[in-house]
Amino acid sequence: MTPVEEIDNVVHSVFPDWQVYFYTIPEEVINNKNVTQVLITESNSDITTFGGNTFNEMAFGYRLQVFYGLDEENLIGKEITLYKALEAKEWHITDSQPRYLDISQTDGQQMIKNIEINKTLTLDELDQ
């Protein structure tokens, strides 16, 4: 399983109705403000832990951009639930930016949250 697939599984394990996308939100759903959407993009991919003339681990970092649905409530509670689920799978929350309002939208403004997570995996864990 790739790191992105694992993150997708973690998000859906606690919020099955959220839509999760990798690298881009499809044009046909990008304007749907009635559902929470999570955009996952890579922020780091580095080789680490050398031994035996090669590297043995990779460090991964991802940015989760959460576009909350207009009717989403208790955002702090939802964020804590997500953080705990990620930590249970050994993802580390390295940055959690303040929520902000998407003022580019005029017909309904969504709250957006940016979260940075990282994890180091051995090549065995990556099935390599």
- Give the domain CATH number at 73: 3.30.2000.10
CA 118 to CA 45: how far, in whole Å? 10
| Domain housing 113 | 3-122
Q: Give me the residues of the chain with pLDDT under 50, please.
A: none
Instruction: Name the E strands within the chain.
Output: 19-22, 37-51, 54-67, 92-96, 100-101, 111-122
Q: Is residue 22 part of a domain?
A: yes
Written as one letter, the residue type at 97 is Q
Looking at residue 100, its pLDDT comes to 94
Q: How far apart are CA 72 and CA 85, in angstroms?
A: 19
Residue 105 belongs to some domain of the structure: yes
Structural domain tally of the chain? 1
Dist. CA 54–CA 108, nearest whole Å: 52
Q: Is 86 helix (H, G, I), strand (E, B) or coil?
A: helix
Q: Residue 25 has what DSSP assignment?
A: -
Which pLDDT belongs to residue 13?
98
Residue 97 is assigned to a structural domain of this protein: yes
